[in-house]
Amino acid sequence: MATPDELSRPLCSAALLVLLCLLESAVGRSGGFTADLIHRDSPSSPFHDPSATHSDRMRSAAWRSISRARRVWARDSLNIQSEMTYSGGEYYMKVSIGSPPFETLAIADTGSDLSWTQCEPCIECYRQNPPIFDPRNSSTYETVQCLTRLCQSLDGVRCGGDDGGVCKYNYTYGDGSFTSGDMAVETFRMGTPPGGTITVPRIAFGCGYNNGGIFADAGSGIIGLGGGPFSLISQMEGSIGGQFGYCLVPVFSKGTSKISFGKDAAVSGPGAVSIPLVSESPDTYYYVNLEGFSVGKARFSYGDNSVGSEAKESEKVANMMIDSGTTLTFMPSQFFHNLESAVAEAIPLPRVPDPHGMLDLCYRSPGGEIDAPVVTLHFAGGADMALNTVNTFAQFAQDLVCFTITPTDSVPILGNLAQMEFKVGFDLRKRMVSFMATDCTAQ
């Protein structure tokens, strides 16, 4: 049996230039494309458990959300570039790799950069139900050589020998999960009707021969959608104009969320608002400045603990991460008390403790229904995002509904529940993210 090193093929030093030209040709003809974004608990997901109740799935999603947030915060405090963050896999994307095309299901993660998949021959691989990608069967697979600019500009790689040999990557995630193998380039195929699929040659990715940890068995690896130089977005930047976005249908609904690239991701029209992206370290994540929030007519500014509609405007802001892989929203604890109090005052139901100890504001409500006030988030640039009940409350037991915004003393996170029923578009050239309330099921 061949070893990973025996699969090596030279990669020319002009690989990046060739890559950009090929991407321009492949994507430029259509200007954009769209693919399905499959929530792990939706009926169309291979992870779907029909015996689980809505409440069961919601509790599991909340636990995954809290675990992911803790890993994000740990990485932020350690500031170790090789310590990546694993998403927990809330959304998945079908891609085909190689020639002939080999279909796989990978985590679509805005909190990761490097895309990777498990590869044969495995030295150590986690259990995966679908077949594992075998690069020996692909005519377009090429390993990256150590002395190329591509390898030398990637963090978490190692090389050996006089000529450097094959570029090896090694990533460890915050929860102890890991992946290592060869850096390579390969043809990727993505997209769904009505726009059809698009073929993108020479995408740099990790072909993992050693992988383990908390990964689900229905998928293989990660599609990195972060802002770093080796994410899928950055590699396709020249052809998609630095634009991508998504529209998330309500959790556990029968509809399918969509992810778009290029002109298809543009957000415009009545009600669309744009927020400047702010730089943070590491630059994998997408951050915006949160200035405050409103509940009804009462506005609260970050760093201002006064209560009432005449609350003084504060110049302080909080850098908030936008993350599709985190379910809950985490609000700065400095003013979460005001948010909790204002929401509770508007809901004429008796409060009850969360029996699972995850959330702060819960109500006993037969049927899981609740009439919640609109919570409006105020971002830099005068952009407001009005969150309705579907964005702020969820059913966690048969007659228990809880507020899905929770406090944190670390980096605030705008989770995917808060983003549902919004068209979200990132424009990395303009350094902006845009939101527009819409019916994502009808998109």
Query: Do 390 and 421 contact (CB within 8 A), yes or no?
Result: yes
CA distance 202 to 114: 14
Amino acid, single-letter form, for residue 125: C
Is 217 assigned a catalytic role? no
Beta bridge partners of 297: none
Tokens standing for 368?
Answer: 């899981």
Structural tokens at position 268: 């415009």
Measured CA to CA, the distance from residue 111 to residue 227 in angstroms comes to: 8
109 is catalytic: yes
The beta-carbon contacts of 164-169 under 8 Å, at least 24 apart in sequence, are 165/5, 165/8, 166/4, 166/5, 166/8, 167/143, 169/114, 169/116, 169/206
The active-site residue out of 36, 41, 109, 182 is 109
The catalytic residue among 36, 113, 304, 323 is 323
Rounded Cα–Cα distance for residues 413 and 330 (Å): 5
- Tell me which amino acid residue 421 is: E
Q: How far apart are CA 91 and CA 63, in angstroms?
A: 15
Catalytic positions, please? 109, 323
